[in-house]
Amino acid sequence: MKYDGMIFRPPSEAESLILQVTVGCSYNRCSFCGAYREKTFQIKSFEEIREDIDEVSSYRLPVRRVFLADGDALILPQKELLRILSYLKEKLKSLERVGIYANAKDILRKDVEELKALKDLGIGIIYLGLESGNREILKRVKKNATVEQLIRAARRVKESGILLSVTVILGIGGVEHSRAHAEDTGKVLSEMDPDFVGALSLMIVPGTPIEREIEAGRLTLPTPFGLIEELETMIASSHMTRCFFASNHASNYLPLRIKLPEEKEEALRRIREVLKRKDSALLRPEYLRGL
């Protein structure tokens, strides 16, 4: 397998074969993200991708899941995606699901029927970064989508029958907009109604624009318990029909894995108890946190 640069994938794709079909991120200007700063965006040729698939198939090992990297592989033209998925299906007989990162504009460039065609050839889950449901915060972090576009994209994925996993970031609004960020994100998640939500805590990547904001005093990060207050407000403000909500990413101080709505009240009770006690021993220690 040939990889260009460092590869990132969702935690839930830990056991998946990572197939790099694009290099970097086509947008690559979100102020908080340093994942693809050193990469120049490009789309790999089908010949390169086919060689990687052929290599894996020669091992004769069962591959049940594949994740298409890099940052927004859904930007590939529909014809190319269908070609890659068809070849994966042909060569990897045990394949059950293909996952892919996408941004809102990539999703909205495809209609429901095109998404259904991708589903028929193996795309089983799309990972979409919401980050915040607050309009001003999205502008501040230079997210390449509006709240309305993100909601429309989420609903289109759901309509196609593909599973939707949405990422949000605790602390991204700073202390100044902490409450608004949490409340608005909970409300937008309700409108998206995803199958999965992954909550991360903002961790500052050296060299990113958001680091410079903090150094200049234009943004103040919440304390660990401030981040947990956001988590409490976000869950309390959300009303999803059937969702698995996780804050067990390594960046978080309080790992949770809950089914919503049935475990909502118990989760809130646990969070509020932690906030009441304010005991740092209840939190993930700093040395165990990471991206």
User: How many domains is the chain partitioned into structurally?
Assistant: 1
Is 3 among the domain residues?
A: no
Q: Which residues contact residue 155 at a Cβ distance below 8 angstroms, ignoring those fewer than 6 apart?
A: 192
- Residue-averaged pLDDT of the chain: 96
DSSP labels for 211-247? HHHHHTTS--PPPHHHHHHHHHHHHHH---SSEEEE-
Strand spans (E) along 29-74: 42-43, 65-69
Cα(258)–Cα(125) distance, rounded to whole angstroms? 19
Looking at residue 290, its pLDDT comes to 87
Residue 120 lies in a domain: yes
Residue 1 lies in a domain: no
Which pLDDT band, with edges at 50, 70 and 90, does 72 fall under? confident
For residue 255, the tally of other CB atoms under 10 A from its CB is 12
| 266 lies in some domain | yes
Cβ-based neighbours of 241, under 8 Å, separated by 6 or more = 193, 261
What is the pTM for the complete model shown?
0.96
Answer whether residue 5 is part of any domain. no
Q: Are 17 and 98 in contact (CB under 8 A)?
A: no
Token pair for 21: 């079909």
Decide if 4 is inside a domain: no
Condensed to tens digits (0 to 9), the pLDDT of residues 212-264 reads: 999 999 999 999 999 999 999 999 999 999 999 999 999 999 999 999 999 99
Give residue-wise pLDDT tens across range 112-168. 999 999 999 999 999 999 999 999 999 999 999 999 999 999 999 999 999 999 999
And the tokens for 110? 């495809």
Q: How far is CA 111 from the centre of its chain?
A: 21
CA distance 178 to 167: 17
Which CATH number belongs to the domain containing residue 36 in this structure?
Answer: 3.80.30.20
Closest CA relative to residue 72, chosen from 146, 128, 141: 128
CA 75 – CA 78 distance, rounded (Å): 9
Token pair for residue 64? 């049940």
Confidence of residue 204 (pLDDT cuts 50, 70, 90): very high
Of 143, 196, 134, nearest to 171 (Cα)? 134
pLDDT digits (tens, 9 = 90+) for 122-131: 999 999 999 9
DSSP strand pairing (22-23 vs 42-43): antiparallel
**Residue 80 tokens, joined:** 């190319």
30 within some domain: yes
Cβ contact 167:35 at 8 Å = no
Q: What share of the chain is helix, strand, coil (3-state, %, to 5)?
A: 45, 15, 40
The answer to whether residue 32 is domain-embedded is yes
Residue 19 structure tokens: 């197939």
The pLDDT tens digits for 163-188 are: 999 999 999 999 999 999 999 999 99
**Residue 160: domain span:** 11-288
Q: Which of 173, 161, 286 is nearest to 229 (CA)?
A: 173
